Each structure stands twice: as C-alpha cells, then as structure tokens.
C-alpha cells in the first residue's frame, strides 16, 4: 500500500494510535487529527516510544468532532479514512447529549468531508456496544445482524452513542454517500499494549488488579480483543474485496471471567502480580451494594452473563486471525509494568 494516503481521526487515542503504527509499518502515508496543533509533539513522542517506523510519513491536521473547521483540509488528498475518534464514557452519564452528539454529528462531519474529497472508503470504528445491549438474556450468539436496543435493559449512554452514530453513518452512506464506500469495525473489550501513559478502557481492569485495588472478583465476563488486532481489522477492511457495506465484529474468542484474568496475571507474572486478588465477591453482596450506590448498578445488571460473539465474518472476509485473549491481557500488563503505571 505504498504511497496510499490515509487519514486516521483522533491520533492521540488508543485504537487510533495503533492504527497509525500499523499503516506506517505497511508503507502508507498517514495523516492524523488532533484537536490542537500543539498536540503533535506529544503524539509523535508516544508513537515513537511504541516503535513507530517512518515517522517522516506521518503528518497532522487540527480538527475537532464538535466543529466543522479543519475537516476539509484533513481529508484532502486522502484515498481512505479510518474514523476512529469518538467519546468513550461507559456507565452513567448525567447529560447523554454530551456523548451522543459528538459521536453522531462528528461521524457525519467526517463522512461529508470524505465524500466531498473523493475518498474511496471510510472505515468507522463502532463497538460491540452497538450490537449486544438491551436484549433479553439468552444463549444467543451475537453477529453483525444484531443491533443494540436503545431503550432496552442495560443500555447506557455509551451504547446509545455508538448505536446512533453507526446507524447515522449507514443512513448517510446509503442516501448521500455517492460512490464512497463504508465499512464498520465493532470491537469487544479492547486490551493490549498501552500507548504513552494514558490507560484506556478495559486496560484499567488489568491496572487495578495489578495494583491491588480490586478486593475480589464479581461474577463478570468480558469478551476481549487485542488492540493490535483491532488495528489490523481496520486496515484490512480499508481495502479488502467484499468489505464495503459490511459490519465486522472482532473478538479474540469466548468471554472470560474477571477471575480468569486474575489467574492469568498470577500464573504468568509471578511477583509482579503479588497484589492480584484471589477471592470472589458473592453476587448477593454486589446486588445489595447496588441498592444503595448507583456505581454498582451497572455491575449488578451484568452478573453471570457471558455474551457470545461471532467474528466469523472478519475471519472470512478480512482474513483476520486474532491473538488470544490471554495474549491481550499479558500485553496490557507487561506494558503497564514497563511504564511504571501500576500503583497501589
């Protein structure tokens, strides 16, 4: 893909940063957006620390999802766009518009600019939160044909934001996108090597376990995917035959229990995992806590529920072959330790 020019939105982010690294490694010219030009030096330093090659092939553009300014310049001359930037605030949000509006309206800003610039294909980062929430608990396996129920049980503002943003993107592509193609990537809980000193999303779970800041394990389960494989799925969806017009769920395998994550850390890291807990927290205790504290209500709602996810489409269409969940957990842990980001 030498001399292919790709815009990656939100270059300071966890997934976006790994997308930038992957594209540079494959010979692309990469442009990424930051909210302010002053951020370029810090982002370059983080990527260099992560092993960035061909840093001279990386350029920056200032643009913000909440405004129109800068997007035409950001997409100018680009063959493809990976639209990764989006607010990430799971759990209770007092004003949902603060997360829904930037996600939905920002996606539409990027798509309009990309269409007007003649971009061939946009790959938008959605999430499993746009698929697997608000449904009755059953033994079903979720696929790309499923959509989160906006007013269903357990659907939070983040789930609504991802669902509404992705639906808006598909509606735009169908009605106003012209020849521009769209694909979406929907990762489950993303773990893996930390970039810089910012700990993102589910990597916080690993950080808290290593720091001894979790007294025990509620009966919770996570489907996990390595961030490097999420980046790989984005890059593959950018050009793969048959990817246009498709959603791609990406997961390393079956959901694993929190206590299994702890067991992986204790078994593989030895003394570095000495503060990782060994005991479980009874579900009755969590449910009682949820009666008195809003903080525990989302946890109580998920007790004992291991969602099943199929990534068959990504494997078949993209040739996607992910690392195991254990590899993702260990990569996160080892990078946290190496960067001295584990504190008690």
Give the active site residues: 162
Closest CA to 328 of 189, 172, 209, 180: 189
Is residue 261 helix, strand or coil?
A: helix
Q: CA-CA distance, 55 to 53, in Å (whole number)?
A: 6
27 forms beta bridges with none
Question: What number of other Cβ atoms are within 10 A of residue 81's Cβ?
Answer: 27
Question: What number of other Cβ atoms are within 10 A of residue 93's Cβ?
Answer: 17
Closest CA to 233 of 77, 309, 105, 123: 123
CB 185 within 8 A of CB 124: yes
118 φ/ψ sector (left φ>0, alpha ψ -120 to 50, else beta):
left
248 forms beta bridges with 185
Q: Where are the beta strands (DSSP E) in the chain?
A: 5-8, 29-34, 58-62, 80-83, 121-125, 141-142, 181-187, 189-191, 221-222, 224-226, 247-250, 256-257, 308-309
Question: What number of other Cβ atoms are within 10 A of residue 266's Cβ?
Answer: 17
């Amino acid at each position: 893909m030498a001399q292919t020019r790709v815009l990656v939105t939100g270059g300071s982010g966890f997934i976006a940063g790994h997308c930038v690294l992957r594209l540079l490694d494959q010979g692309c010219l990469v442009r990424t957006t930051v909210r302010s030009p002053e951020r370029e030096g810090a982002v370059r330093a983080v990527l260099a620390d992560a092993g960035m090659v061909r840093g001279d092939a990386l350029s920056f553009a200032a643009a913000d999802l909440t405004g129109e300014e800068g997007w035409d310049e950001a997409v100018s001359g680009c063959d493809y766009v990976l639209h990764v930037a989006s607010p990430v605030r799971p759990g209770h949000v007092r004003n949902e518009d603060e997360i829904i509006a930037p996600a939905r309206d920002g996606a539409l800003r990027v798509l309009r600019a990309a269409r007007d610039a003649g971009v061939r294909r946009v790959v938008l980062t959605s999430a499993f939160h746009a698929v697997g929430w608000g449904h009755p608990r059953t033994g079903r396996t979720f696929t790309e044909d499923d959509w989160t129920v906006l007013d269903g049980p357990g659907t939070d503002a983040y789930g609504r934001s991802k669902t509404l943003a992705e639906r808006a993107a598909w509606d735009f592509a169908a009605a106003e996108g012209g020849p521009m193609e769209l694909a979406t990537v929907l990762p489950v809980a993303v773990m893996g090597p930390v970039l810089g000193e910012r700990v993102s999303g589910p990597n916080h779970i690993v950080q808290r376990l290593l720091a001894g800041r979790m007294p025990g394990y509620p009966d919770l389960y996570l489907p996990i995917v390595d961030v490097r494989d999420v980046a790989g799925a984005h890059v593959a969806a950018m050009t793969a035959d048959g990817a246009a017009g498709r959603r791609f769920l990406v997961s390393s395998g079956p959901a694993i229990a929190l206590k299994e994550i702890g067991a992986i850390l204790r078994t593989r890291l030895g003394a570095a995992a000495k503060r990782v807990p060994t005991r479980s927290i009874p579900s009755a205790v969590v449910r009682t806590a949820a009666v008195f504290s809003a903080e525990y209500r989302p946890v109580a709602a998920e007790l004992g529920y291991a969602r099943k996810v199929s990534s068959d489409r990504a494997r078949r269409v993209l040739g996607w072959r992910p690392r195991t969940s254990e590899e993702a957990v260990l990569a996160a842990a080892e990078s946290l330790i190496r960067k001295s980001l584990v504190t008690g």
